[in-house]
Structure 1
Amino acid sequence: EVEETIKWSHPFFTLGGKPFANMAAFKAHASFGFWNRQDNETGKEGEAMGQFGRIGSLADLPEAVEVERLIREAAAAAMAEAKPARPRAAPKGEAEVPPELAEALARDEAAAAAFNAFPPSCRREYC
């Protein structure tokens, strides 16, 4: 089931939560393109206006049967596409506490307890 949403201030279509197609309208023309550009060949690849180039009228589009075929191919590609695995970030070590902060924490037990209760990311904000 294709859902229409707004992304980057333009109508955008998602399929199963994955990006599928987008369109934009201007004063004298419109554009339409698929998210996976490499999967659909329309003869206008490399143009800045999506797979169909600058659409000024219906005559600028391929036949309806061809458009339907391209949409089905793009939908199949969007559903088959596996989400790329993100590399895990290297764990950051414990932050080195500056001497001035260490002295201040040594003088105030409540502040030291609060500082030590912070998660490492928050402690790094003070170091």
Structure 2
Amino acid sequence: MTLSHEDTLRELHTDDGTLRYHEAGDGPPLLLLHGSGPGVTGWRNYRHNLPVLARHFRCLALEFPGFGVSDPTAENPMAAGPEAVLRFLDGLGLDRVDVIGNSMGGYVAVGLAVAHKDLFRRVVTIGGVGRNIL
């Protein structure tokens, strides 16, 4: 399966700006949260894994505010991340998803998992840091 940036790119208009994301596949929803750093985006973090994951999941690679093609934010992008995830899931009508978070995305995922215990079914982090949940 070949997926392109243009074919997978979607927009979700929220009360706090437009969130852009990449969507591919069918099945249970899988939220993909990218890391931080110069030039990082959800597409760059997950584009090579997206075709494989899309065989089993409805993949949703969110572009955090201030990164990629989502609207900028006046907040620190890491501080804006958790609320953006909540707006994103609410806007898509999703109340429970699996999540993979890379680096900063792992930090955001773990923080949300602690604060909203029913939000995620499974959490996988790749180089993520967060609060100890045990």
Return the TM-score normalized by structure 2.
Answer: 0.24
Higher Rg of the two aligned structures: 1
| TM-score (normalizing by structure 1) | 0.24
Higher relative contact order (Cα pairs below 8 Å, separated by 6+ residues): 2
Q: Which structure shows the bigger proportion of residues in strand conformation? A: 2
